[in-house]
Structure 1
Amino acid sequence: MAGNQGNYREKPTRNEKNYKKANGQPRLKEKSSRAKSDNVCPYAKKCGGCDYQGVEYKEQLKTKQAYMKKLLKPFCFVEPIVGMKNPLYYRHKVHAAFDCTRRGQIVAGAYRKNTHDVVDIESCMIEEQESDEIIRDIKDMLRSFRIKTYDEDTGYGLLRHVLVRKGYATGQIMVVLVLASPILPSKNNFVKALRKKHPNITTVVLNVNDKKTSMVLGDRNITLYGKGFIEDKLCGCTFRISPSSFYQVNPVQTELLYEKAIHEAHLTGKERVIDAYCGTGTIGIIAAKNAGEVIGVELNRDAIRDAVTNAKRNDIRNIRFYNDDAGKFMVEMAQKGEKADVVIMDPPRTGSDEAFLSSVVKLSPERVVYVSCGPETLARDLKYLTKHGYTVKRATPYDCFPYTEHIETVVLLCR
């Protein structure tokens, strides 16, 4: 998933020998399943979702820790990886693709790795259980409501995907039906029947995706029941989650991750903080409680709209949001002679780019807190920042996606 990165060579430790790299991420060799897990998924060899199926969780953490230690050795000390007490059923955003086999069997689940063939999954060991039950019941309801699944090859059919999001703290549930048309036959009866099975459902949204595309969601949402969004709490703040909102899927680990990021910022109530790649404003809004001023910058207009709503919802008055490219925005700040004490950056898995990193250098904050979801691109970006006057103090990995190769990391840099 991550970009390319030069090799840092050293004698491998015992745990480092247990992985091989795939697309820049740590992958356990099959022979290393000496510590086998009792949690063996029946879909492990069909579904492409989990890379570490059948491997004991402690072994997964050791492998990820060794990988990060080796990757970041040129820069800093790597603190012990923060794992989960219970690494199962952690995904509170559950997506299922729908299809129909040649024999007419309706299937719903994940795509087989590197294909668009749908693997029929009754329940997933890393997905929130009630969300899986809702998807399973929707699949069972389709025939009685004469709803056909969408065929990607012919463009015929209606139901493409179902997305279920559940608030960890609030328990609120949003069901998103992704259709190829804005018309759902007997929609009121369908929603009524679904809510009879699952009365905890807070809202049902019809998302229209009428394009021949691999994108899951379309641009248009029609609320069939409820408010069209749910809310959840994170680090003492309340956040609105709409169908297309970016919101971390593992709330337990996300809270720890964000608390660490804000702790590393060393806020005293006086600092000017820039929340770059701010998305819907989660980190910035949480940080604002301990900062003098927060500026959130995000290129996605819908995300900024949600960020403004979230700030108002939490009565946060010392934060401003700008719909702009963060790098360009910070260069203009530097040209005007403006300063920032802290930059918190949370880029996508592809990492940042040189234009953005050079803008950080120009603005010259005392501290940079880098929240990474791509280890290899993190190392690449740290190489640039350390060449331009910053020192990496420490890195703390977080296992937000057990049974997969992905690793999140909080890194503190100081000038």
Structure 2
Amino acid sequence: MTLSLSFKKRGITLTGLSVELQGKPILDNVDLEILPGEIIALLGPSGCGKTTMLRAIAGLQRPTAGEIVVGGQAMNDVAPYRRNVGMVFQSYALFPHMTVAENILFGLKMHGVAPAERQGILEATLSMLELGSLRDAYPARLSGGQQQRVAIARSIATQPSVLLLDEPLSALDKKLKDDMRNELRNLLKKVGMTAIIVTHDQEEALAIADRVAVMENGRIAQIGTGGDLYHHPNCRFVADFVGYMNYFDGRVSGRSDRSVDLDIGRDRSLKARAAAIAPSQDDVIVAVRPEAIRPVVNATPIDREAFNSVTARLIGEEFLGIITNLRFQDDEGRELLVIRSGHDNRTQLRAGERYALIWPIDATILMPTDAS
């Protein structure tokens, strides 16, 4: 008998969620709305509370305050095994003495699924995750990517409404991790259930998730699509955690309907679009992504209505294959990073020489100084 797996997509709502451990706040009044079938990544450094949030949703950590609602049902007082939540641990936690099929069947036995039904669910799970040829293999004979698929298979065989993944790619080497990002996203979308992924890897979060919540000190600093966070960070912490960034301390020196003028010191100025800043702001952090900058020789004519420009000296170059990191220092001693394609030879650069670093005004990001 072969069955098809059926997953109920359930949304998740966290309201005022707080967790304290030994009197120390780990989660601090977190609000989060996750749509049914959505993949959310919790991204942040160690100790920011992301794994604690995962454990609270799974029922493995009791909140100090706040509410957890899954599919419209309050979960705070529901036992972990009754929450219909699947969890994939960082180490995968496969039983080494069991085959792939036996690992998958174990969870079904623990959930009291009848023997006749187990076999049909097993066959459906093996088919969905393309593990049929490995059903009799033991974990020690599997690659890291195959072990990950088995761990996911064991979790989804119980047909949970929510899947929680704690650092799902951290056990893999870089090349395999890069290969698995797209496969994991495709797999989660194929399964179709709501999923939350904990990670400290920005590329992993951006590649897999529909939205990313960047966490700092037990709070969500910003949540949005990868494009939102990358191009419109709301504070310096988010800007630094999602990619690389160059910064200037700026002060608004003029405004028009279309743009603002920014004083960055020593009678030097930049422009940004007026929509990038609140009308009442004067002191701002001016930021630009390193791949938006292009070095040109100083004599190159520059359209000041379309481009910003600063003059800087090349002090270092790091060739990394598909990209090259260029490090410059401007007249005020600020170091600026420029990232360009390994095949971008529009300007031949020489260490110690001065260049104009130009970038589109539209690529100039402004952030309030009190949110850094």
Provide the TM-score with structure 1 as the length reference. 0.27
More strand by share: 2
Larger Rg: 2
